[in-house]
Amino acid sequence: MEKVMSQIEQFDKLILGSGQGGKLLAWHLARAGQRVAVVERQWVGGSCPAVACLPSKNEIWSARVAHLTRHAADFGVATGDVAVDMAKVRARKHGMVEREAAFHVQAYASSGAELIMGVGRFVGPKTIEVQLNDGGARTLGGNQVVVNVGTHAAIPDVPGLRAANPLTHIGALDLERAPAHLIVLGGGYIGVEMAQAYRRFGSRVTLIERGARLMAREDADVGDEMLRIVRAEEIDVVLDAQTIRVEGHSGTQIRVVVRTPSGEETVEGSDILVAAGRIPNTADIGLEQAGIELDERGYIRVNDRLQTSARDVWAIGEVAGSPQFTHVSVDDFRIVRDNMAGGHRSTGERLIPYTLFTDPPLARVGLSETDARREGIAVRVATLPMSNVLRTEATDEKQGFMKVLVGADDDRILGFTMIGSEAGEVLASIQTAMIAQLPYPKLRDAVISHLTVAEGLGPLLSRLPERAAR
């Protein structure tokens, strides 16, 4: 111990994992003159720009171009045969990832934070040993330490699945070919986004979901509409499916045996993508050596200030059990930044929006009808089909609907869900109104520019029933 202690390089702040919030914290603190080190094993800017949000949205955009081009004749535009060049799709994505990596290297250099590339592991309280990627090791100490190591794809314990060497989002976003028949296990965020993208790249796609609906966290009408949308593109969807076993090898031939309420069936394909949720990167990083406790799901246990059970150790992002979105990890950064400076910011009560980047997208902020029922909150609800939004007469983007929830006894907007063109953009205006606690009639009666999708908010809010007389 004496020997190790004498070799420790001490920093004001030591951050394990260059995740979305961690890197921002490092740059902020280093610019403020503190001595900061970040330990990162693989991706200079964390997973989002390297293998998650940006690469997926980049390829999804290519897939949309393919889709629109295939349907060009519907809009009076003649094209020849449409072919997708997956090598070029990948190269375009790769160029963006390289630019992002270069940006992050530059941001570290200009901030003054030291980026140490290697695998980090706690060897004592506030002390991390790093096996450097270039060889050798360093032992680092931090007066305060932040853990931002993220999660990785779960591979369900299904016989034969691991041996089939399935794709996760990382491999699927790096393919130079469209699989002949892609089987997607999991009908949540990654599964639905990737299923639609690969269908549009020309693959046959079968999506297997164990639950009764796609996008299980949403209301039934939302899941049902998403099902209609993906089935309209001839994606086969098997719901209520218990995966019994997998045979074969992804990339060659795959057989998935599932049990559904109507009996056992076998889905045969060429490749399998697993999109069945996430596992926190908390195993084998010595958290017990540092007194950092985990919760029952293996995530780092934090309080609402994002402090762990160990003094002067914080956690940020997915590993802290925060909702799994980049903007939440970024907000965790702001909370830790302010609390480190003596503030009292909490993760409680924050309004978290999200957008699923299907076409059309799905976006939500605040309560769903299911949430309202579960929490016993009395609400008024209105929905508007996208076919009633005038802009869709021009664009033919008629799938989906908007739904709004307001208080039964007051005019506060409590929740908004939309499946429809530009859903993520329309969401921001509702979120702004919610933050400002704007009574909904103000937004209903606002003059919104014609011919936008957001113009639909007027008719949507006009459909709300009057408050019940007392």
Ligand X SMILES: Cc1cc2nc3c(=O)[nH]c(=O)nc-3n(C[C@H](O)[C@H](O)[C@H](O)COP(=O)(O)OP(=O)(O)OC[C@H]3O[C@@H](n4cnc5c(N)ncnc54)[C@H](O)[C@@H]3O)c2cc1C
Ligand Y SMILES: NC(=O)c1ccc[n+]([C@@H]2O[C@H](COP(=O)([O-])OP(=O)(O)OC[C@H]3O[C@@H](n4cnc5c(N)ncnc54)[C@H](O)[C@@H]3O)[C@@H](O)[C@H]2O)c1
Known binding residues for FAD: 57, 120
Would you count residue 424 as binding ligand Y (CB under 6 A)? no
Entry field: residues in the chain = 470
Binding residue (CB under 6 A) for ligand Y from 113, 185, 227, 379: 185
Rounded distance between C-alpha atoms, residue 117 and residue 130, angstroms: 8
| Phi and psi angles of residue 442, each rounded to the nearest 5 degrees, phi first | -60, -40
Count the residues of the shown chain that bind ligand Y, applying the rule CB under 6 A.
26
> CB under 5 to 8 A by kind: which of ligand Y, ligand X, none does 191 bind?
ligand Y
Would you count residue 169 as binding ligand X (CB under 6 A)? yes
Site for ligand X in 173-192 (CB under 6 A): 190
Residues paired with residue 315 on neighbouring β-strands, in sequence order: 147
* 9, two tokens: 């390089």
> Tell me, what amino acid is at 400?
G
Q: 120: buried, middle or exposed (CB in 10 Å: 19+, 13-18, 0-12)?
A: buried
Contact criterion met (CB below 8 Å) for 293 and 147:
no
* Active-site annotation holds for 71: no
Would you count residue 46 as binding ligand X (CB under 6 A)? yes
Would you count residue 278 as binding ligand Y (CB under 6 A)? yes
Residue nearest to ligand Y (CB): 188
Binding residue (CB under 6 A) for ligand Y from 356, 389, 404, 454: 356
Site for ligand X in 138-157 (CB under 6 A): 148-150
> Tell me, what amino acid is at 58?
N
Q: 302: buried, middle or exposed (CB in 10 Å: 19+, 13-18, 0-12)?
A: buried
Residue matched to tokens 């790769």: 94
Would you count residue 276 as binding ligand Y (CB under 6 A)? yes
> Tell me, what amino acid is at 42?
Q
Closer by beta carbon to ligand Y, 41 or else 57:
57
Binding residue (CB under 6 A) for ligand Y from 209, 271, 359, 411: 209
A 10 A CB-CB count for 407 gives 17
A 10 A CB-CB count for 227 gives 20
Which of 16-24, 201-209, 376-384, 441-449 is the region at the interface with ligand X (rule: CB under 6 A)? 16-24
The SS3 call for residue 302 is coil
Binding residue (CB under 6 A) for ligand Y from 216, 378, 435, 448: 216
Would you count residue 456 as binding ligand X (CB under 6 A)? no
Contact criterion met (CB below 8 Å) for 50 and 17:
no
Binding residue (CB under 6 A) for ligand Y from 17, 19, 22, 187: 187
Contact criterion met (CB below 8 Å) for 364 and 427:
yes
> CB under 5 to 8 A by kind: which of ligand Y, ligand X, none does 19 bind?
ligand X
Count the residues of the shown chain that bind ligand X, applying the rule CB under 6 A.
36
Peptide bond connecting 360 to the previous residue in cis, omega within 30 degrees of 0? yes
Contact criterion met (CB below 8 Å) for 211 and 240:
yes
Best CA proximity match to 148, nearest among 11, 335, 275: 335
Active-site choice (152, 181, 344, 450): 450
Peptide bond connecting 451 to the previous residue in cis, omega within 30 degrees of 0? yes
DSSP string, 344-362: ---STT----EEE-SSS-E
> CB under 5 to 8 A by kind: which of ligand Y, ligand X, none does 62 bind?
none
Which of 173-181, 204-212, 229-237, 457-465 is the region at the interface with ligand Y (rule: CB under 6 A)? 204-212
Would you count residue 53 as binding ligand X (CB under 6 A)? yes
Site for ligand X in 347-366 (CB under 6 A): 357
The CA–CA distances, whole Å, from 412 to 113, 219, 379, 407 equal 44, 20, 10, 6
Closer by beta carbon to ligand Y, 127 or else 326:
326
Which of 15-23, 133-141, 215-223, 395-403 is the region at the interface with ligand X (rule: CB under 6 A)? 15-23
Residue matched to tokens 């305060």: 144
> CB under 5 to 8 A by kind: which of ligand X, ligand Y, none does 356 bind?
ligand Y
Minimum separation from the CB atom of position 86 to ligand Y (A): 20
Which of 12-20, 64-72, 205-213, 343-351 is the region at the interface with ligand X (rule: CB under 6 A)? 12-20
Residue matched to tokens 């800017």: 45
Minimum separation from the CB atom of position 302 to ligand Y (A): 18
Minimum separation from the CB atom of position 145 to ligand X (A): 13
Residue ranges that bind ligand Y, judged by CB under 6 A = 156, 158, 185-191, 193, 208-211, 216, 243, 275-278, 324-325, 354-357
Catalytic (active-site) positions:
450
Residue ranges that bind ligand X, judged by CB under 6 A = 16-21, 39-43, 46-48, 52-53, 56-57, 119-120, 148-150, 169, 190, 281, 285, 317-319, 324-327, 329, 357
